[in-house]
Amino acid sequence: MEWSDHFNVAELPQGSYRSIAGYAAESLVIGRAMQCGYNLFFKAWRDSPYDGVLDHNGVLFRIEIKGTTVNTLGVTAGGRSGAQISREAEDRTHIIDSDEVDLLVGVNNLNGDCYLIPSEVLAIFNQQALSLEKIEIFKEKWEMLGGFRGSGITFSTEDIKRGFFRRSEEELIHICYLLGLRIEEGLDSYSIDWPGFRGGILSGLTFRKIVTLLIWKAILQ
């Protein structure tokens, strides 16, 4: 019998159950993060712009948690939820924003698999839902939060939290040089191999976007 066969055996109303499923996803992430040795703090106000804070040796990551039981993960915030919400209310759904959240932690409610995705990557993908294939590279990358050490370059936990997209182009080019990444400058558009997108390629990227993705790939692989 699959675990999904046990979902809502208490026969709660669907609106209530959707809300509870969200809390269940949070609980799954809490357990996984605690097993990794992280301390977490969770929101006391329902409408907080993020779900909680993950503490890595004093560096605090604002996190949003999303659960899924299918092959895609929703990556939006601000939407309506629950039966008590008026359908005439303004829909403020938007892709999770790096101004409000540092890290999305997606969790597969069927098996507990976690995906740790920097919010700046969500903006580059620019899709409200992502197939699990697209985010496979972020699966169980808990160690990423501790930083990165490569030949000639080190990223601290603060660097991981800050991300790369908002750095100067000069700094990005220097990071690429230290990581051994080669990319031609001055093109109108760039493409990158990325599973899950049509043809396995994510195209139409600016220089800053492709460099940001290349740096994350180097860190995660």
Domain extent listing, the chain: 3-144, 164-220
Q: Percent of the chain, pLDDT > 90?
A: 74
Give me the mean pLDDT over the 27-45 stretch.
92
Give me the mean pLDDT over the 33-49 stretch.
90
Give me the mean pLDDT over the 117-134 stretch.
98
Within 1-140, residue ranges assigned H as helices are: 14-35, 119-125
- The confidence score (pLDDT) of residue 83 equals 42
Give me the mean pLDDT over the 57-85 stretch.
84
Give me the mean pLDDT over the 203-221 stretch.
96
**Which CATH code fits 3-144?**
3.40.1350.10
| 44 pLDDT higher than 90 | no
| 150 pLDDT higher than 50 | yes
Within the chain, residue ranges assigned H as helices are: 14-35, 119-125, 157-162, 169-179, 207-220
| Alpha carbon distance 182, 31 (integer Å) | 40
Mean pLDDT check: name the lowest of 56-60, 182-186, 208-212: 182-186
- The confidence score (pLDDT) of residue 84 equals 47
Give me the mean pLDDT over the 127-153 stretch.
96
Q: Kindly indicate the confidence band of residue 70, based on its pLDDT and cuts at 50, 70 and 90.
A: very high
| 109 pLDDT higher than 70 | yes
The H helix count followed by the E strand count for the chain is 5, 13
- The confidence score (pLDDT) of residue 82 equals 46
| Alpha carbon distance 173, 141 (integer Å) | 25
Q: Kindly indicate the confidence band of residue 101, based on its pLDDT and cuts at 50, 70 and 90.
A: very high
C-alpha separations of 156 from 105, 110, 146, 161, 162 in Å? 20, 33, 7, 9, 10
